[in-house]
Amino acid sequence: QWIYLGDQFVKKEDAKISVYDHGFLYGDGVFEGIRVYDGNIFKMEDHMKRLYNSAKSILLTIPHTQEELTNIICEAVAKNNHKDAYIRVVISRGVGDLGLDPNKCKKANVVIIVEPLAIFPKHLYDTGLEIITVATRRNRPDVLSPQVKSLNYLNNVLVRIEAHLANVSEALMLNDQGYVAEGSADNVFIIKNGKLYTPPAYVGALEGITRNAIMEIARELNYEVYEEPFTRHDVYTAEEVFLTGTAAEVIAVIKVDGRVIGEGVPGEHTKTLLKGFREKVVQDGVK
């Protein structure tokens, strides 16, 4: 396995970074997760746009143009020879001193890892997921925008810890007003009266690329789609609930905080949208 590190490809065993890298010391940096389906990179341009916007928001200069970085990512995929894989792109502030002054970091560090990934066991895609809501809150958009995919993922890690302590694989975060925001690394959708609802960005949800793809697919299939705030009660009483994300893809939720959703099995709308998604990932990829 080849990993892009700094400005070259190195073997996995040799891919090591300095303990003075501010990505490590302070979580100072940004990242993206991108998916390769059958050799096609899904929504590459959207991911690049989000990565460069995340970097811009925290005044981090990525040492490549978008086109250069796109080419390096394509090279990383080709070099690792996976037909289906997950690409992790990490841009850290780079090596500085122990203080947190980012100006001491002379050059951002670029890391690209390409490998197969399955965040949930395969059978859960057939049976659906049981999830909970947790005490950890989504950070307020006016404090640190959820649109910045920063290396500070402690909230999200805490969500996952709370989920695991309750013996489930994933959980939903609420925002500071108690509206449902999103999962630890995925967006949430509910279906009510056959209509789709997902929390708007201002509630604290990342504008997920899978989320956007699902909204597009749903509209093509003549579903009504709304970006509207909703509460836990709305989730408990929904006909169907599902999560979307680059790593999670589209996965049905069948129980939330002990409340059975619908019939307790993945619903027909979720299955239809998942099918639409599967078709889309092959059509919309970039070789």
Catalytic residue positions?
149
Residue 54 as a binder of ligand PLP (CB under 6 A): the answer is no
State how far Cα 123 lies from the chain centre. 21
Residue 211 as a binder of ligand PLP (CB under 6 A): the answer is yes
Q: Using the rule CB under 6 A, which residue among 54, 80, 133, 246 binds ligand PLP?
A: 246
Locate tokens 């073997």: which residue?
11
Q: Using the rule CB under 6 A, which residue among 206, 235, 238, 256 binds ligand PLP?
A: 206
Two structure tokens written together for 211: 């989320």
What's the min distance (Å) between Cβ of 245 and ligand PLP? 4
Residue 175 as a binder of ligand PLP (CB under 6 A): the answer is no
Q: What is the DSSP string of 142-194?
A: TTS-TTS-BS--HHHHHHHHHHHHTT-SEEEEE-TTS-EEEESSSEEEEEETT
Residue 180 as a binder of ligand PLP (CB under 6 A): the answer is no
Helices (H), 108-153: 123-127
What end-to-end distance do the CA atoms of the chain give, in Å?
A: 20
**How many residues bind to ligand PLP according to rule CB under 6 A?**
14
Residue 33 as a binder of ligand PLP (CB under 6 A): the answer is yes
Task: Tell me which residue has its CB nearest to ligand PLP.
Answer: 208
Residue 28 as a binder of ligand PLP (CB under 6 A): the answer is no
Select the span of 107-115, 183-191, 233-241, 266-274 touching ligand PLP (CB under 6 A).
183-191
Locate tokens 């996976």: which residue?
82
Select the span of 161-169, 208-216, 223-231, 260-268 touching ligand PLP (CB under 6 A).
208-216
Note whether 281 and 35 are within 8 A (CB).
yes
Torsion of CA 159, 165, 168, 169, to 10 degrees: 50
Two structure tokens written together for 137: 């809150």
State how far Cα 70 lies from the chain centre. 19
Q: Using the rule CB under 6 A, which residue among 18, 53, 152, 156 binds ligand PLP?
A: 156
Query: In the stretch 74-103, what mask flags binding to ligand PLP with x, by CB under 6 A?
Result: ------------------------------
For 135, phi then psi, to 5°, come to: -75, -30
Query: In the stretch 111-150, what mask flags binding to ligand PLP with x, by CB under 6 A?
Result: ----------------------------------------
Q: Using the rule CB under 6 A, which residue among 182, 204, 238, 252 binds ligand PLP?
A: 182
Residue 208 as a binder of ligand PLP (CB under 6 A): the answer is yes
Note whether 192 and 176 are within 8 A (CB).
no
Distances (CA, A) of 207 to 21, 135, 225, 233, 241: 28, 22, 15, 23, 18
What's the min distance (Å) between Cβ of 260 and ligand PLP? 25
**In the complex, which residues of this chain contact ligand PLP (CB under 6 A)?**
33, 156, 182, 185-187, 206, 208-211, 244-246
